[in-house]
Amino acid sequence: MKHMILAFGLALVGFSACTHAVDEADAGATQTYTPIEQFAVQSVYEAHPTRALVDKIELVPSAGAHTLLRIEMTGAPEFRKSYQLEISESVADGFKLEDMQTLQ
């Protein structure tokens, strides 16, 4: 039992000694999303609650009346996912998810 406690204590000391360099340009940067992007990200997390973090959101040109957004999630290449969401917007109802496709 003493050996386990000692090993655990040493492991904690080792983890506390780890430091990560943070680029000062990135330190103050925070990602802000437009309301429609917030709705799209929330829709992805509701459909896939265990997804990783958002890596990139881009507006996809559309000939239709709805807005198309492509969301790429972070992760290892074999687990990385991209989603395309078709979202409608009205003054009375706000945003509505019309369609969501998994691209990769």
pLDDT tens by residue, 56-81: 999 998 888 899 999 999 888 887 88
Q: Are 104 and 83 in contact (CB under 8 A)?
A: no
Rounded to two decimals, what is the model's pTM? 0.65
Answer yes or no: is pLDDT of 99 > 50: yes
The arithmetic mean of pLDDT across residues 4-16, rounded, is: 50
What pLDDT was estimated at residue 82? 92
The two counts, helices (H) then strands (E), for the chain are 3, 4
Comparing 98 with 93, which gets the higher pLDDT?
98
Burial of 71 (0-12, 13-18, 19+ CB in 10 A): buried
Residue 69: burial class (beta carbons within 10 Å; 0-12, 13-18, 19+): buried
Task: Kindly give the pairing relationship between strand 82-90 and strand 94-102.
Answer: antiparallel
pLDDT at residue 49, rounded to an integer: 83
pLDDT band at residue 29 using 50, 70 and 90 as cut-offs: low
pLDDT value for 52: 82
